C-alpha cells in the first residue's frame, strides 16, 4: 500500500451563526487576532489566543491543530493537541464549553433530484382503535 495525497476538499466552518468556506488546500487561522481567517470575538476572548488554532489539510484529511495556545482546543470534552476534522465534528476553543467550531468538508455530496417525482398510491392506514364519530373526508384525487 502506498501513501498518496488526496485532493483537498473545501472546508466549511460554523462559529455560532457565522459560516465560513475555504478553498481546498488553504491553511486557515482561528483566534482573536485581527489577521485570523476566523476571528473569535466573544465574551470568552480572554481564553482565546491571538492565533489559537490552525486548520490544515495534511494530505489525507483536514486537521484542527492547537497553535500552542494557553487554553487549548477540546473535542468530546477533552483537551486535544489536534482533532481530525470530519463532517459535523465539533471543536471548542479555550475550554470544553468555549466557542464552538463545527465543520463540514466538501466530501459530502448532496443528492439533488432534477425532475419531479410522481406521487405514488396513498398508503393504507391501520383500522382505527375506536369507531369514528363523524363522516370521514375523502382523500384528495
The half-sphere exposure of 17 on its side-chain side, counting CA atoms within 13 A, is 0
pLDDT digits (tens, 9 = 90+) for 12-55: 999 999 999 998 778 999 999 999 999 998 775 578 999 999 99
Q: In Å, how far are 37, 114, 133 from 14, measured between CA atoms?
A: 12, 29, 52
pLDDT digits (tens, 9 = 90+) for 99-119: 999 999 875 434 333 344 455
pTM as predicted: 0.70
Other Cβ atoms less than 10 A from the Cβ of 6: the count is 12
Strands (E), the chain: 11-15, 18-22, 28-31, 38-39, 53-57, 62-66, 73-75, 78-80, 82-84, 90-93, 100-105
Average pLDDT over residues 77-104: 94
Q: Which domains does the chain have, with CATH numbers?
A: 27-101 (2.60.200.20)
Amino acid at each position: 500500500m502506498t501513501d498518496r495525497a488526496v485532493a483537498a476538499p473545501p472546508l466549511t466552518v460554523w462559529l455560532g451563526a457565522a459560516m465560513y468556506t475555504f478553498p481546498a488546500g488553504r491553511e486557515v487561522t482561528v483566534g482573536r487576532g485581527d489577521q485570523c481567517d476566523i476571528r473569535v470575538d466573544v465574551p470568552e476572548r480572554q481564553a482565546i489566543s491571538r492565533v489559537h488554532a490552525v486548520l490544515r489539510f495534511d494530505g489525507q484529511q483536514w486537521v484542527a491543530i492547537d497553535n500552542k495556545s494557553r487554553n487549548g482546543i477540546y473535542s468530546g470534552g477533552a483537551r486535544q493537541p489536534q482533532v481530525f476534522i470530519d463532517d459535523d465534528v465539533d471543536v471548542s476553543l479555550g475550554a470544553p464549553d468555549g466557542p464552538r467550531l463545527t465543520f463540514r468538508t466538501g466530501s459530502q455530496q448532496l443528492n439533488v433530484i432534477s425532475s419531479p417525482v410522481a406521487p405514488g398510491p396513498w398508503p393504507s392506514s391501520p383500522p382505527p382503535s375506536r369507531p369514528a364519530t363523524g363522516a370521514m373526508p375523502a382523500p384528495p384525487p
